[in-house]
Amino acid sequence: MDDTGFIKKGTTSAGVQRQYSGTAGRTENCQIGVFAAYATTLGRALVDRELYLPKSWTEDRERCRTAKVPDERGFATKGELARHMVLRALASPLPIAWVTADSAYGQDNRFRRLLEQSGAGYVLAVPKSQFSVGCSRIEDLFAQAPDEAWEQISCGDGAKGPRIYHWAAVRLPPVAEFDYQGEVPHRMRWALARRSISRPDEIAYYLAYAPLQVTVQELVRVAGARWAIEECFQAAKNECGLDQYEVRRYTGWYRHITLAMLAHAFLAATAHQAREKGAQPVGRSGSSSSQWRRFGDSWQLVVPGPRT
């Protein structure tokens, strides 16, 4: 899950206003679309989309009617739009094992709970200030990690080869409401940290919810798979005109975006078929009474007191 911006002039295009665009890296006059991408080892493609409507639009119904926004369409945060798309994806024929997203979605407690209630595994980025069991901030949890807890692992191949970082992973105490079936545990919670090898002060953090048998390497692989949607955005914009439109009405945006997504999915499938036939690919430390302890080949956070 992720969102991308579409830079626009004027004030009449559905959902447009001055807002932060990760695409531009600054506040711009733009529309924001929230997207879902489906990624496998065979390829990836965008599979769902929603136009984000700020309150400046949903609180002005006459403006909405001029842009042909349906009367029933009210305000929804980007997280709410993402939750709707997750439910649609889980109800579809697509086999789905994991959900991953950046910290804008990972820090949303309701988004994580939806996935837990649906039985889907996740590896979600979170900000360093995220609360974690045993510490008030997740960065404090990993500040306590011993040197030997950090392991050099690749989270997938990038344009310049394997993306290798130092990773630390710790198992968190279970939550009875979501992690047990009766008295038997069936899911496990993790916290992960990804540290740059050349710039060790650059650390990203994740929360994960996974089957009992999952390995740290698998969690790292899923975390790295998040970049698939960035690749989808780039390809769909460069090759399929995802951002090259002049429509202003709500319905027109959905029609253009859906057609561009279909073209991108067609290209992804065609590229896979070509590969199958052998053709060339298309081109700060906090105090805590909790402790890190090694259990077999992984680390676990031990917190005094009863199970939460």
pLDDT average, residue stretch 203-222: 95
Mean pLDDT, to the nearest integer, of 219-245? Answer: 94
The pLDDT value recorded for residue 295 is 64
Q: Please tell me the total number of residues recorded for the chain in this structure.
A: 308
Residue 156, classed as helix, strand or coil, is strand
Q: pLDDT tier at 285 (50, 70, 90 boundaries)?
A: very low
Where residue 46 falls (left for φ over 0; alpha for ψ -120 to 50; beta otherwise) is beta
* Average pLDDT over the chain, rounded to an integer: 89
Mean pLDDT of 195-219: 94
Residue 234, CB half-sphere, CA atoms under 13 Å: how many?
6
As a dihedral over the C-alpha atoms of residue 35, residue 40, residue 42, residue 46, rounded to 10 degrees, the angle is: -10
* pLDDT of 105 strictly over 60: yes
Q: Cα(157)–Cα(285) distance, rounded to whole angstroms?
A: 32
CA–CA separation, 260 vs 122, rounded Å?
28
Most confident of 18-27, 45-54, 110-119, 144-153: 45-54
Read off the pLDDT band of 308 (50, 70, 90).
very low
Those residues with Cβ within 8 angstroms of residue 169's Cβ, 6 or more apart along the chain or in another chain = 190, 191, 192, 193, 216, 219, 220, 298, 299
> Any bridge partners for residue 17, and if so which?
30
What pLDDT, on the 0 to 100 scale, is given for residue 307? 46
Least confidently predicted of 118-127, 181-190, 240-249: 181-190
Per DSSP (E only), the strands in 143-290 are: 151-158, 161-172, 180-181, 184-185, 187-195, 203-211
